[in-house]
Copies of this chain bind each other. A is one copy, B any other.
Amino acid sequence: MALYTEVLLDQRPENGVIGAHLFKAVQKEIPAAGPGQILVKQTHMSLDPAMIGWMSPDTNSYIPRVELGQTMRSSGFGEIIESNHPDFSVGDNVMGMMGWTEYLVSNGQGLNKVQPGVDAETALAVFALPGLTATQGLYNIGKPKAGETIVVTGAAGSVGSIVGQLAKADGLRVIGIVGSDEKADWIVNELGFDGAINYKSDNLEQQLAELTPDGIDVFFENTGGPIQHHIFNRMNTFGRIAVCGMIADYTAETPALGPNWIRLITKRITVQGFAMPDHFGDVPALLGKLTPYVMQGKIQYRTHILSGLESAMTGLNLFLTGDNKGKLIVKL
């Protein structure tokens, strides 16, 4: 009898502390695929900042939170081991919401076959939540135009790095906000951003003014934090702000206040929050938009690989400390 491991949410985080104490690993027998079902061996699991929201006690989260005792939710990449389903064959690679588990049985719903030649890392780092989120927010909210200036926070993150590269390919001036000099170096010298600011440095307002001499037309917000106010204060007339993440505030006892709204009027700015679960129906169109950029080699990424299912439990902390060095992927 072969066993596999699955990880359940056991407690909700308090005071922003995330760690193994919140989870419970259980051993189960590897099931067989029933009629119309497939058995998937997950090989790579994606860790995303949104997970912290799914675990949190706040009932306002935008998709149903993970209940205590449920398998922790995540997207992943895996190989089909058994198939009784006409659309899937043994050996096919699939991706989709798999959860924190080494094996799963599925009727195929919500799982998509991965094109041969697309490896697990590219699939999870670009063609999954990060790339879809970047494409949705940048094009449908940010509405970028060549010659405009965009500022992206969390710019070395899985979403922000794609947003910046797409905007750069479209002829915008692209400034990224990051949390380390190493990340600043990477987005400027490897990804081709026009400038970067380490938000842990001094004189943020002045640095931003120097890097955005013509003001800011599009603001892609992944983090929150004090620099939000400086960026907001340089928004141009008819500016667009896509609010994608507020990681700096998710675990705060009292989230920091936002900018005063007068500038929304004087500059006629639109601020729009979004979340990918609303747009899963648009995935084919989003992939259609994103894929040519990837094929033309315009989207680079880097991954930060953790090993083994249990490493996910503490790995989520990397989003809070900013110590992740690329798309977080757990290799199972």
Q: Which residues of A contact B (CB under 8 A)?
A: 53, 58, 60-62, 221, 224, 228, 237, 243-246, 249-250, 255-275, 278
Q: Are B224 and A268 in contact (CB under 8 A)?
A: no
**Residue in contact with A268 in the complex, picked from B257, B258, B265, B275, CB distance below 8 Å:** B275
What residue in chain B is nearest A228 (Cβ atoms)?
B261
Query: Which residue of chain B has its CB nearest to the CB of A229?
Result: B257
Check A258/B259 contact, CB under 8 A, given A246-B265, A267-B62, A272-B264.
Answer: yes
Complex contact B278–A273 (CB within 8 A): no
Q: A60 contacts B266, CB within 8 Å?
A: yes
- Point out the residue from B260, B264, B268 that lies within 8 Å of A256, measured CB to CB: B260
Docked-complex contact A259 and B260, CB < 8 angstroms: no
Which of A228, A258, A265 gathers most chain B CB within 10 Å?
A: A265
Whether A268 contacts B62 in the complex (CB less than 8 A), given A259-B257, A261-B258, comes out as: yes
Q: Tell me whether A271 and B268 are in contact in the complex, defined as CB-CB below 8 angstroms, given that A249-B262, A255-B262, A260-B249 are known contacts.
A: no
- Judge whether A61 and B243 touch: CB under 8 Å: no
Q: Shortest beta-carbon distance, A124 to chain B, in Å?
A: 22
B261 contacts A246, C-beta separation under 8 Å: yes
Closest 5 CB pairs of A and B: A264-B273, A257-B257, A255-B260, A265-B273, A258-B258
Which residue of chain B is the closest to A255 with respect to CB atoms?
A: B260
Give A237 to B60 CA distance when docked, in angstroms: 9
Closest to A62 in B: B266
Which chain B residues lie closer than 8 Å to A257 at the CB level? Answer: 257-260
Residues of B within 8 A of A256 (CB): 260
Report the Cα distance A261→B53, complex, angstroms. Answer: 14
Evaluate contact between A264 and B271: CB separation under 8 angstroms: yes
A-B contact pairs, 30 of them (CB 8 A): A58-B266, A60-B266, A60-B267, A61-B266, A62-B237, A62-B266, A62-B267, A62-B268, A224-B261, A243-B265, A244-B265, A245-B265, A249-B260, A249-B261, A249-B262, A257-B257, A257-B259, A257-B260, A258-B261, A263-B273, A264-B272, A265-B274, A266-B275, A268-B272, A268-B274, A268-B275, A269-B273, A270-B270, A270-B272, A270-B273
| Chain B residue with Cβ nearest A272 | B270
